[in-house]
Amino acid sequence: MVDSRPDIDSNLDWISRQILAAIHESDGTADTSEIKAITGVTEGTKVPYRLKNKLAPDFVDLMQPEMTDDGQIPPKVATLTADGEDLAETIVEEEFDTADLSDDLENVKADVSRLAARVDNLENKSESTAVVQNEDVDLQELNRGVEKLLEQMTIINDFLNEKYDGELREFAEEKNPDPPLN
């Protein structure tokens, strides 16, 4: 039996996939203003560019409404094609799968932060007292734990970059434009 669900087009970046999901969420038709509001991608021409150059005509049909009586040009309207509807459903289903991965990544980050803070605390104690022999925590064991967690984060990061066309860094910069340098 052949699976009729489409493969997610590897040429589609995460913004294009979010656009398809947003149109799907709007019952298959949405204008560019609605798409920007749903996706949160409001800067520049990212949404119109992707609609015209990456999604039309295979996944969306674009229509420019008539000029209004007051001379305003309304936003373009995108409607999912049959292939676009199938692909959007696949993307929406996939988002549920990756939500668990995001939670796991957040847990790993929290573990790394706790371990790093504990290592810093122990190093500060050892510098001030010059005697760590009384500590019941092995610094080498903590360092191995931190290294293991960093390796796991790297694996998750590589997976997300591969899955989302290398745009994880752009997404992270949007979430935190000024990450602390440690």
- Of 96, 74, 78, 90, nearest in space to 27 by CA: 78
Residue with tokens 């292939």: 83
More confident residue, 180 or 24: 24
- Of 174, 165, 172, 164, nearest in space to 41 by CA: 174
Question: What pLDDT score does 39 carry?
Answer: 87
Residue 139 pLDDT class (50, 70, 90 cuts)? confident
- Judged against a pLDDT cut of 80, whether residue 113 lies above it is answered with no
Encode pLDDT of 51-74 as tens digits. 999 998 999 999 999 998 999 999
Encode pLDDT of 160-177 as tens digits. 777 776 666 666 667 666
The beta strand positions in 10-98, using DSSP E, are 29-31, 60-63, 77-80
Residue 103 pLDDT class (50, 70, 90 cuts)? low
* Residues belonging to the chain: 182
Amino acid at 3: D
